[in-house]
Amino acid sequence: MDYPQGFRIAPGSRPGIKDLDPAYTGGQADKKAAEAETADCQQKLRSLQELLYAEGRHSLLICLQAMDTGGKDGTVNHVLGAMNPQGCRVAHFREPSPEEAAHDFLWRHHREAPARGEVVIFNRSHYEGVLIERVHGLVPKETWAKRYEAINTFEQGLAENGTRVLKFFLHISRDEQLKRFKDRLDDPSKQWKISDADYKERGFWDAYVEAYEDALARCSTAHAPWHVIPADHKWFRNLVVARIVVQELESLKMRYPKPGVDLDKIRAQYHAAKKG
């Protein structure tokens, strides 16, 4: 199966993740050229994010989901890290705290949603409620099965408040995951990431694929689309995500706001101060 145009999952369609090649590069064989284009996109992201912050009319929520080692942190570092932290932040969702667990599953995510003028990246997201909690039976089926509608309502509310929502599933192969586990073992700077659960989770691979397919099929909407990004090649993953985020921000047709002061008066004060 070919990747959908723009890697975007059309509303109402169900992607066959197993049929999508994680090593796909779309004919982009030149790694150096791709990295150069990614760097160009990073420059655009800096400018667009500053414009988003200055205009203060819209916000952007980026959700990153993947199997273990899929590249969520790498995407943040190499693509989205180009943006100014004054108007961009990352929310990383781990096991819920006692306070978080005492509320509905969306409570902690709503608290982290972006304000106008802000970019927020969810490193893992509200979809964990229909992924890990489903796969491991942490909640009964009658609970997680109702969450897709709650998620769609949550995202619709964000969109109505001026938030653009982009969701990325970083799609890697089982072989590539095993290679990345080996890299962690061999690299002292990455060994801290190793977990006892790493290899155990591989036994649930097919269950996760089914859960992802359901999430993408039921929650890819016009206002909050899912994108499946082939991620075996990190350089291609970075390029595709960067392109999509740039295109989304450019589509807002943003403008810098008019100054709220009398510029002629400020100029006169400047010249007076310079003379004095």
Q: pLDDT per position in the chain (276 positions), as tens?
A: 678 888 999 999 999 999 999 999 988 778 999 999 999 999 999 999 999 999 999 999 999 999 999 999 999 998 888 999 999 999 999 889 999 999 999 999 999 999 999 999 999 999 999 999 999 999 999 999 999 999 999 999 999 999 999 999 999 999 999 999 999 899 888 888 888 888 899 999 999 999 999 999 999 999 999 999 999 999 999 999 999 999 999 999 999 999 888 888 889 888 888 886
pLDDT of residue 257: 92
| Domain ranges for the chain | 5-275
What is the chain's alpha carbon radius of gyration, rounded to the nearest angstrom? 21
Among residues 99, 75, 27, which one has the least CA distance to residue 172? 75
Q: Of 5, 3, 1, 56, which Cα lies nearest the Cα of 244?
A: 5
Sequence-ordered list of residues with C-beta below 8 angstroms from that of 15, at least 6 positions apart, any chain: 1, 4, 9, 213, 216, 217, 228
- Among 60, 1, 69, CA closest to 237: 69
Give me the pLDDT at residue 4, please. 80
Residue 62's alpha-carbon distances to 182, 241, 249, in angstroms, are: 29, 10, 12
What is the SS3 assignment for 64-116?
Answer: EEECCCCCHHHHHHHCHHHCCCCCEEEEECCCCCHHHHCCCCCHHHHHHCCCC
pTM of the model: 0.94
Using an 8 Å Cβ cutoff, are 252 and 52 in contact?
A: yes
CB contact at 8 A, 121 and 89: yes
At residue 99, the pLDDT reads 96
Rounded CA-CA distance 185/182 in Å is 5
Rounded CA separation 130/144 (Å):
6
Q: Would you state the CATH architecture of domain 5-275?
A: 3-Layer(aba) Sandwich (3.40)
Residue in the block written with tokens 């990073």:
42
Sequence-ordered list of residues with C-beta below 8 angstroms from that of 215, at least 6 positions apart, any chain: 127, 130, 131, 148, 226
Looking at residue 1, its pLDDT comes to 60
Tell me, what's the pLDDT at 276?
Answer: 64
